[in-house]
């Protein structure tokens, strides 16, 4: 038995003690100083810091991380140039090389409090090298990390010859989620056909869907309506996700307003990648320059689920990124104009509960009596301070195991006025 004492819990007043036995949280009680029978009990003093459910990475490409240099730096910094650069170089990669990248990405994320990852894996490769690497890693880390793999056709179902067959093959091999990228297909009709195909495959293999959708400033890119319609009519509902939907910020308000109720009715989730899309979009704007992210506030007001995600760590699409999702919260609430005290205090939802909904892991997620002992301790006393300071994670506990620990920041003050 171990007690994590003096813990601040999200959206709760006072301090709590979290009692852990083996893999489970057996009790959450108001903090008390003394406990009987101390010999059999280990203690950890949380010292009033915030304890949260682990971060959920709802959208990353683990097979791309740290490939910015081998693939050469993008010249224009646009999404489509990056896809071309990637296409030229990926065939040289081996399973061992991709596994090494994946492990570097996993380390970056886990050391910053992530314990659940949904990763897109490029399957527009006749050898499916990255998928083979990812499936091996998934098995190797399963005791420490929950991983969901998306069969993602980076170069399209139809723009890449045989892309649709490769997605299906990836699902047979064990991918958990059907991906797509309709705005990259040659025509609107082929984009729509690819969305339909993704939902057909999801029904055939009983999988989730997560589609890169309308990642462009083109206000005419409206594949999100196809995803909503397919989710509604097939009944897949909240098992489907539209990632990016950047074009939504360029839609006219009459169309966007009409669609909000349809999105809610369809049940689809949305994933926004604030830093990545702020960088990739707006490239053709001059000034005024758009911010690149979707209508996060309006989607939330309509009752839709939205999570924030990293997307890239130093790859052809984005030169920075470090796996620390609280940066995405900080950027996301700024770019989305969501800065009221109430909105800031719920900022961590974007990388915790909202991400868990998208991954469909609600049943195993959260800090609750009888639940799995999986949580993180932030070096901050509250949600607002955690975001304001972009707090570090000082302890990450997964199913009762302490998997990452970091010394709290300590500053020596030598100034006479402090
Ligand atoms: Fe992506």
Centre of ligand 1 from the C-alpha of residue 272, in Å: 10
Within 10 angstroms of residue 192's Cβ, the number of other Cβ atoms is: 18
Q: Is the pLDDT of residue 362 over 50?
A: yes
- Cα 27 to averaged position of ligand 1 atoms, centre (Å): 39
What pLDDT, in 10s, does the model give residues 384-399? 999 999 999 999 999 9
- For residue 79, the model assigns a pLDDT of 75
pLDDT of residue 74: 46
pLDDT of residue 89: 73
Cα 144 from Cα 107, distance rounded (Å)? 11
Q: Residue 372 forms beta bridges with which residues?
A: 24
pLDDT digit string, tens, across residues 36-50 = 667 789 999 999 999
The stretch 318-345 carries a mean pLDDT of 97
Instruction: Classify burial at 229, counting beta carbons within 10 Å of its beta carbon; exposed 0-12, middle 13-18, buried 19 or more.
Output: middle
Predicted confidence (pLDDT) at residue 292 exceeds the cutoff of 90:
yes
> How far, in Å, is the centroid of ligand 1 from the Cα of 209?
14
CA of 59 to the centre of ligand 1 (A): 6
Q: Is the per-residue pLDDT at 342 higher than 80?
A: yes
| Max CA distance (Å), the chain | 70
Q: CB of 316 within 8 A of CB of 76?
A: no
How many Å apart are CA 408 and CA 390, to the nearest integer?
13
* 154 C-alpha to ligand 1 centroid (Å): 9
> How many whole angstroms separate alpha carbon 21 and alpha carbon 28?
12
**Bridge partner list, 213:** 244
Phi/psi at 265 (5° precision): -65, -35
Cβ(221)–Cβ(183) under 8 Å? yes
Q: How far is the CA of 86 from the centre of ligand 1 (A)?
A: 13
Residues classed as catalytic: 215
pLDDT tens digits, one per residue of 76-98? 667 777 777 777 777 788 999 99
Q: What is the CA angle 119-122-123, rounded to 5?
A: 120
Mean pLDDT on 265-272: 98
**Can you give the pLDDT at residue 33?**
75
Q: What whole-number distance in Å separates Cα of residue 409 and Cα of residue 418?
A: 17
pLDDT (mean) for 269-296: 95
Average pLDDT value for the chain: 94
Q: Separation of 232 CA from ligand 1 center, angstroms?
A: 24
Letter string b/e over residues 256-275, b meaning 16 or more CB atoms within 10 A of that residue's CB:
beebbeebbebbbbbbbbbb
pLDDT of residue 86: 73
Q: Residue 70 burial by CB count (10 A; 0-12/13-18/19+): exposed, middle or buried? A: middle
Structure tokens, 398: 């997964």
Composition of the chain by helix, strand, coil, percent to 5? 40, 20, 40
What pLDDT, on a 0 to 100 scale, did the predictor assign at position 37? Answer: 62
Q: Determine what percent of the chain is predicted with pLDDT higher than 90.
A: 88
**Helix 188-205 vs helix 223-234: crossing angle, to nearest 10:** 30
Between CA 416 and CA 366 the distance in angstroms is: 45
Please provide residue 51's backbone torsions phi and psi, each rounded to the nearest 5 degrees.
Answer: -110, 130
Q: What is the pLDDT, as a whole number, of residue 8?
A: 98
Span from the CA of 49 to the centroid of ligand 1 (angstroms): 33
């Amino acid at each position: 038995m171990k007690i994590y004492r003096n813990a601040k819990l999200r959206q709760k007043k006072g301090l709590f003690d979290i009692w852990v036995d083996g893999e489970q949280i057996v009790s959450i009680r108001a903090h008390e100083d003394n406990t009987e029978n101390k010999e059999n009990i280990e203690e950890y003093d949380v010292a009033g810091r915030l304890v949260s459910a682990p971060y959920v990475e709802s959208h990353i490409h683990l097979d791309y991380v740290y490939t910015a240099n081998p693939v050469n730096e993008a010249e224009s910094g646009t999404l489509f140039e990056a896809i071309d650069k990637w296409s030229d170089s990926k065939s040289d990669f081996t399973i061992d090389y991709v596994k090494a990248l994946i492990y570097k990405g996993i380390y970056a994320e886990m050391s910053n409090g992530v314990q659940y990852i949904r990763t897109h894996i490029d399957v527009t490769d006749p050898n499916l090298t990255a998928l083979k690497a990812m499936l091996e890693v998934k098995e190797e880390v399963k005791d420490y990390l929950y991983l969901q793999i998306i069969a993602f056709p980076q170069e399209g179902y139809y723009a890449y010859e045989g892309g649709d067959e490769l997605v299906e093959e990836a699902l047979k091999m064990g991918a958990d989620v059907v991906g797509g990228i309709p705005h990259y297909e040659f025509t609107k009709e082929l984009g729509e056909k690819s969305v339909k195909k993704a939902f057909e495959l999801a029904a055939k293999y009983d999988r989730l869907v997560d589609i890169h959708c309308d990642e462009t400033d083109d206000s005419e890119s409206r594949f999100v309506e196809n995803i909503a319609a397919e989710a509604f009519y097939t009944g897949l509902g909240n098992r489907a996700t539209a990632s990016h939907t950047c074009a939504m910020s360029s839609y006219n308000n009459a169309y966007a307003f009409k669609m909000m109720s349809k999105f809610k009715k369809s049940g689809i989730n949305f994933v926004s990648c604030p830093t990545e899309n702020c960088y990739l979009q707006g490239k053709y704007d001059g000034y005024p320059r758009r911010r690149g992210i979707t209508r996060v506030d309006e989607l939330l007001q309509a009752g839709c689920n939205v999570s924030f995600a990293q997307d890239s760590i130093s790859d052809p699409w984005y030169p920075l990124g470090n796996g620390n999702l609280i940066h995405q919260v900080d950027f996301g609430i700024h770019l989305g104009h969501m800065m009221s005290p109430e909105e800031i205090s719920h900022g961590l939802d974007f990388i915790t509960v909202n991400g868990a909904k998208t991954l469909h892991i609600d049943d195993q997620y959260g800090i609750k009596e009888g639940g799995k002992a999986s949580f993180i301790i932030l070096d901050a006393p509250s949600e607002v301070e955690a975001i304001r300071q972009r707090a570090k994670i000082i302890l990450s506990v997964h199913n009762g195991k302490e998997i990452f620990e970091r010394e709290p920041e300590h500053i020596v003050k030598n100034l006479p006025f402090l």
